[in-house]
Amino acid sequence: MKDNRNLVIGISLLIIGIIGLSALSGMRLSTAGMMGGGMMMDRAGMKEMMKGMMGDLLPPGINPEKLPDPQSTGAQLLVQYCTQCHELPGPGMHTADEWPSVDDRMIRRMRMMGGMMHDINAPADNEFRTLVAYLQRHAQKPMDKTKYTDLNTPAGKSFDATCSQCHVLPDPGQHTAAEWPGVVGHMTQNMKTMGKPLPDRATLEAVIEFLQTHAK
């Protein structure tokens, strides 16, 4: 009886071992298939994965021609490297103080992904410095609230409540009065894409009024 029980236990352990080895072999084959040249994820796959992971947190990209100084080396590096994993970001997404840490995080991700995928490249050190300098030069300029006594007016409150949903309050002096309606229209589309509450027409008009009053 004892011998039979030992035999059953031995056979059971053997079966478990075979199943475990089969699962491990399948995992290795699957990994090899993913990392092999023909099955490796490309940039299009990476962008889709990023959209799935980030959802509405990523704003829509901008046209390269709309970048500040689009023919500069910094702009070209931005297009070359930053569109590998997601849509093209505008320099105005962050302030000059914020961009270095954002860029450092992105380059670490590119280097990590470059070791896993054949189609992701990280900038060289000199390119990275040029890219950061470009983004800081054209970064979002935050408003100095102490200089604007009309932030408590209806137009000022509309501006504050609307624009602070996505970024720091922008300095109205960054654009001319003629430019601000187009900028606000673009930002409204970003808000829609990102699932933010959209302001009504009266609120948008108040925001534009405030910005135009203090435009350059």
Backbone angles phi, psi at 70, to 5 degrees: -65, -20
What's the pTM value of the predicted model, to 2 decimals? Answer: 0.71
If phi over 0 gives left and psi between -120 and 50 gives alpha, with beta otherwise, what is residue 113?
alpha
Residue 171 to residue 173: CA distance in whole angstroms: 5
Q: What pLDDT does 88 receive?
A: 93
Q: What pLDDT does 57 receive?
A: 59
> What is the pLDDT tens value at each position of the chain, 216 positions in all?
444 444 444 444 444 444 444 443 443 333 334 344 444 566 666 666 666 665 555 667 899 999 999 999 999 999 999 999 888 999 999 999 999 999 999 999 999 888 777 688 999 999 999 999 999 999 999 999 999 999 999 999 999 999 999 899 999 999 999 999 999 999 999 898 888 999 999 999 999 999 999 999
Q: What pLDDT does 83 receive?
A: 92
Structure tokens at 42: 């490309």
Backbone angles phi, psi at 140, to 5 degrees: -65, 130
Look up residue 124 and give its DSSP letter.
P
- Neighbour tally for 135: CB within 10 Å: 27
Q: What pLDDT does 67 receive?
A: 96
Q: Which helix (H) or strand (E) holds 7?
A: helix 2-35
Structure tokens at 205: 């008009």
- DSSP SS3 for 101: helix
Contact between 109 and 85 under an 8 Å Cβ cutoff? The reply is yes
At how many degrees (to 10) do helices 99-114 and 125-137 cross?
Answer: 140
Structure tokens at 171: 């300095």
Residue 211 to residue 206: CA distance in whole angstroms: 9
